[in-house]
Structure formats: structure tokens, C-alpha cells
Amino acid sequence: MSIVMQSLRKTTRILTPPPDLTCSQWANAHRYLSKESSAQANKYRTATAPYQTEVMDAVNDDAVQTVCAMFASQTGKTEIINNVVGYFIDCDPAPILVVQPTIEFAESWSKERLVPMLRDCSCFDGKVRDNRSRDSGNTILHKSFTGGNIAIVGANAPSGLAGRPRRVVLLDEVDRFPASAGTEGDPCALAIRRTESFYNSVIILTSTPTLKGLSRIESEFLQTDQRYWFCPCPKCGEYQTLKWGNMVWPDGKPEEAMLRCEKCLELLDDGQRVGMIKSGEWRATAEFNGKRGYHLNGIYSPFKHKRGYRSRLHQMASQFLEAKHGGEETLKTWVNTFLAETWEGVGEKIDPADIGNRREDYVTELPEGVLVLTWAADIQGERIEAEIVGWGMGEECWGIRRAYLIGDPNSSKDIWRNLSEFAATEFIHPIYGKIRPQIGCVDSGYATAAAYAFVKSQRPAQVYAIKGAKTRLRHPVEVPRRGSRSSALLVDTSEFKTTIYSRLKITEAGPRYLHFPKHYDDEFFAQLTAEKVVSKWARGVQTQTWENIRPNKRNEALDIRVYNHAALHVLNVNWEKLQENMANRSQQVDYILNQNKPESPIVKATPKPAPIFNRPPRRGGFISGWK
Ligand SMILES: [Zn+2]
């Protein structure tokens, strides 16, 4: 192209107002797939994977604050991020932040995705400073462009997450983020906080999920309107989602794999599957409250099968069989990356001594991190056991105090009076002053009438009767309807046991870590780790049951923890807000404390700043995901 032509082209661009495109329209018009990251260097077309369109265009929808995409691998998740970045650089310049799990991921994303895109799409010519120039506006992790800039950071580096405000924040593979960026806390929260000064901010989280109870992307997705791609059967027209349970093939012949319509039961071949996907649409399955969520498993992959397979369905069936053959680890990877579902099998037994070894000397009975207290009680034939638990930011959790009350709950009044006193224990928080447990749950499976009478007697305190459900529930805790015969909360014990056991595997203090004080005895840890999950597979669908594997079957400590979790769930805490409120409150409390030092033995030492607790030793093994 001649110099005259080039400068004419540039002049024309400057004079033309930016076209009013949506993100997907822009991608169709301007995006080329680079040879570095794509099977064929070619023009990008949403028609290839039409489900990407709405996800990208959510950035143009003023009603959407946050977009969450829980996608299988090989469904084009990365192209969505690339297109959003390209769109904002070209059409709506803004400060952009891209967060990858680590700095290494950040560098390779920049080199392998961003730089080739900027090179291969002519719309960026003259907008982004030359990649080869060594001026400060353009490094691997930071690039300036007309009207904005893009920073690419690792979620493990707190320095990259703090700093100037950002209008567009893209969080890629969030389940691989560390629980805490250094000592600064949840990297997602840190990054999202930077959008606060923009009314028109854009936040996107994407990932394949990891462990149930630890998965960030799943816990985000569950707060969205939960959209799934529904597509019409070519035989009967019924709209449905594609499920692994509908994949069929004759024994030992994965090459004959077909997809069965769940309505008319006709068998569909790979071409029909792709046709279905292309005429599908996103449908919300939950209420919208500002967060939009998209889930897509690998059965929706519209891309061509690999060499050596007869069809994509053949490839899917074979890869499943290989994963199953490889044992629990490979099966877990398949569930996460292909089904885009969390893995529930926390199959191995947890050693109580390992957990007991982390007992800490709290400096004060309530460590500084505690923001709210819950309590829960388990009722047995001749005793009541109870525990008060403290919770902080990111559901970091501290065992605080246990009670072992002797007496027959059916006949003894004293035992219930003692429980009432325990539940109302007043603690002195080293920063916030006096606090009492906010909410409590009493097991009503045994001595039901006495438990109900106790709950009633505690009003107006927030105390609930609770019982474990025999089957899996739709929600972790179901609150009884007004006028229903039982007034107990129904709790999905499996759900919370999975959460507790996943969190017991976290070995570094921070969000979701469980702390235990020195005075908890060995029996507590033996009870806490008394169970084990047993998973069964039938037709690619996983079911799990918890089994008590302790010879004497004692597991009260675990049950009480489940009820404490349920109590916290009912409270539905906004942690940021709570911390703010407590800090405001403490200014008044400081004044009172200075005037009149409390003599309670609970307060051993309150010089500030005091170490909050002894950090447990770091153990080997990397735990990924939402710890
Ligand atoms: Zn059908």
C-alpha cells in the first residue's frame, strides 16, 4: 500500500465517528483468528459457535453488572475474552485489567493471544503503540492505546491487583486463582473493587470449575440467572439442554456414539447435534439480579473432531472411557473440563491428627478476624453438645468454644437453661468490643418437642430448629413455609459436609481456612473427620453418599459444624458491608473500652497491633481453586 493510501486510510478513520457496534458485531467485522491460537488462521465468525454471541454482547447491556461463564474447555471461552478486549480497544477505549491465575499465565496470554490479535486485525493499526518499540507505554504486561490502556496481571501478585481504577475487569480461569493474593485477600474481590468508581463498569469471570464447595466459578454462577443453551431436536422440535446421560453407544463401540433426544428418544448423529446447537438459544433458569451466568458443557463443542476419530461424538465417548479407565484423578479432570461441573468426590479419609496438629494459640479468645458468631447444638439421649464458631472475610472460620452438657433433654430443665446461657455468651472482641452469637441452630431430630419448646423460649433471639434431610435438596438450606407442619430448617448435610471437607484440605490461613484453638481435644478432631464420601457412577452421572467410617460412629462435632454452616447460610452475610459496620462500631467501642477496661478473663491481651494468630506451618501440595 502506498504511503498516500495509508495516510488517507488513517485520516478517514480519524474523521469517521466510531460505529455503533455490539461486541459480537465488531468481532464478526474485524476479528481474525491468529495462527498461533487457532487451527486455521481465519476470519472469526459467531456463526461457528453461536452461543458466544450473547455472552459477548452482555457487555453492551446496561442491566448486566457481571457476566459469569462456566464453560468446558474447547468451547471458545478464550475467544470471548479476546473479543471483549479487542472491542473495548477499538470501539470504546477504557482502562482494562485482565487477571490470569499467575504472572506466567499473564505473560503467555499476552504473547500468545493479545499480541497476535493486535497484529492480525487491521483495526488496531495506529491505535496500539508498536509492539517492538521499547517505550514505557508498551511492555508484555502493559500496553497503552488511544484512549486507554490494558494491564495484564497474575492473581498471585497483590501489587498488580491494587492501583488505579479500571472500567473493564476480565478474570480468566478464576478457579485456578490462589485463595489470597499474598496477604491481601481474595484476588477476585481486589480486582473487582477497582471498578467501583465507574457506573458503566464491565466484569467478566470465566473458568472451568474444580472441586465442589471450593469452586469460585460455581459459587458465582449460582448467584446469576443461570443460563443454559437450549436447542431443538431435529426430529420432534423439543428444546432441551445436551446432557451426558443422553449419550449412547453399544458396549465397546464408542465410534457408534449417538445423542438421544430426551423427548422423542430418537438417536441423533453428530451432524444433527451440530445443527441443533446452531439453532439453540440461551434460557435463564433462575431469577436475574444484575448478574448473568452462562453454563456450557463439552457436548456443545461445534468444532471438528480430532484425527483418528470418526466424529466428535466418537471423540467424546472415547475420551470419557479413557478418563474413566485412568481412575479418579483423570475422571475428575474430565468432569471439570468436559462436563464443566464441579467434582464431588472427596473420597479419601482425612487424618484427624493432621487437622489436630494445626491447633493454634489464639491471642484473644476471639481472634481479630472474627466478624460474626454462630452457634449450633446436637441433642443426644443423655447430653447436649454445642459449639460457637467465629466467621470472618471469605468465610475464614475459627472454632471458639464448645459445650458438653449432661442431662436428659426430654426431662431436664437445667440442661436447656445451660444451653441458653451458652448461646448467649458475651465475648469481648479485641477490636469491636462486646459481641454475642448472632444466630443458632438446634438439632430437632431427637427430643423434638423439647427442642421446639426451647427454640420458642429463645425469641426474639434468632434460633432455629434444624434437621438433616434424607435426600439431596434443591437448596443447601430450606426454610419451612409459614403454616407447614414442621417448623425446622431442613439442611442438605451432604452439601455442607462436602464444603467442610474441601476446606479442611486448605493448609494456608486465609479465606475459607478452618482454625482450631489449643483447647479443642483429640476427640473433637476424630468426630470431625469421622465420615467419608462414597461416589457411584451410573451412565456418566455421579451420585454420592456420606458414610460414617468410625468404629464407634461418634460424629457430633461434624454434625454441629454442618448446623453452624447452615446458620451462616441463613444469615447470608455481606462480608464487605459487615466489616465496614463493625469498624464504625469499634470507634465508639474504643472510647468505652478506654474509659472502663473490662475485667473479663476472656481478654488476655489487647495491645494493638497484636498478631492475630500463629500461622500454621505451610504444608506441601498445591491446592488450586477457590480454597
Ligand atoms: Zn426429539
Q: Tell how far CA 103 is from the center of its chain.
A: 21
Query: How many angstroms separate the CA atoms of 238 and 68, rounded?
Result: 27
How many Å apart are CA 393 and CA 376, to the nearest integer?
Answer: 20
453-499 pLDDT, tens digit each:
999 999 888 999 999 987 667 678 888 776 666 788 999 898 898 88
| DSSP bridge pairs for 206 | 69, 172
Ligand 1 centroid vs 240 CA: distance in angstroms?
A: 9
557 vs 563: CA distance, rounded Å: 10
Q: Chain-wide mean pLDDT for the chain?
A: 85
% of the chain beyond a pLDDT of 90: 60
Range 117-121 average pLDDT: 91
For cell 490502556, the residue is 149
User: From ligand 1's centre to the CA of 280, what distance in Å?
Assistant: 14
Quote the pLDDT of residue 601: 27
pLDDT class for 518, splitting at 50, 70, 90?
A: very high
Cα-based torsion angle of the residue sequence 109, 111, 113, 115 in order, rounded to the nearest 10 degrees: 140
Q: How far does residue 264's CA lie from ligand 1's centre (Å)?
A: 4
Long-range residue pairs from 262-269, CB within 8 A, at least 24 positions apart, any chain: 262/238, 263/233, 263/236, 263/238, 264/233, 264/235, 264/236, 264/238, 266/233, 266/235, 266/236, 268/233, 268/234, 268/235, 269/311, 269/313
Residue 114 — pLDDT band, cuts 50, 70, 90? Answer: very high
Cis (ω within 30 of 0) for the bond into 460?
Answer: yes
Between the CA of 260 and the centroid of ligand 1 the distance, in Å, is 8
Ordered DSSP codes for 204-222:
EEEE---BTTT-HHHHHHT
The pLDDT value given to residue 214: 73
Average pLDDT over residues 396-411: 95
Dist. CA 234 → ligand 1 center (Å): 6
| Residue 246, CA distances (Å) to 103, 325, 334, 436, 588 in order | 40, 20, 17, 52, 62
Kindly give, in sequence order, each residue whose CB lies less than 8 Å from that of residue 434, ignoring residues fewer than 6 positions away. 426, 427, 428, 589
Closest CA to 602 of 417, 425, 403: 425
Confidence of residue 620 (pLDDT cuts 50, 70, 90): very low
Residue 53's pLDDT band (cuts 50, 70, 90):
very high
Predicted pLDDT at 602 = 28
Higher pLDDT, 572 or 538: 572
Which pLDDT tens digit goes with each residue over 295-314?
999 999 998 899 999 999 99
Q: How far is the CA of 307 from the centre of ligand 1 (A)?
A: 30
Using left for φ > 0, alpha for ψ between -120 and 50, and beta otherwise, residue 493 falls in: alpha
Q: Which three cell numbers stand for residue 75?
A: 468451547
Between the CA of 279 and the centroid of ligand 1 the distance, in Å, is: 14
- Taking 80 as the threshold, does the pLDDT of residue 257 lie above it? yes
- The string of pLDDT tens digits covering residues 266-292 is 999 999 999 999 999 999 999 999 999
How far does residue 227's CA lie from ligand 1's centre (Å)? 21
* Residue that wins the pLDDT comparison between 551 and 588: 551
pLDDT above 50 for 417 = yes
CA 311 to centroid of ligand 1, rounded, Å: 21
Instruction: Give per-residue pLDDT as tens, 54-80.
Output: 999 999 999 999 999 999 998 988 899
Predicted pLDDT of residue 475? 75
Nearest to 376 by CA among 510, 493, 506, 219: 493
Q: Is the dihedral of CA 157, 158, 162, 163 positive or negative?
A: negative
User: How far is the centre of ligand 1, averaged over its atoms, from the C-alpha of 232 (Å)?
Assistant: 8
Three-state secondary-structure class, residue 107: helix
Distance 244 CA to ligand 1 centre (A): 16
CA of 313 to the centre of ligand 1 (A): 18
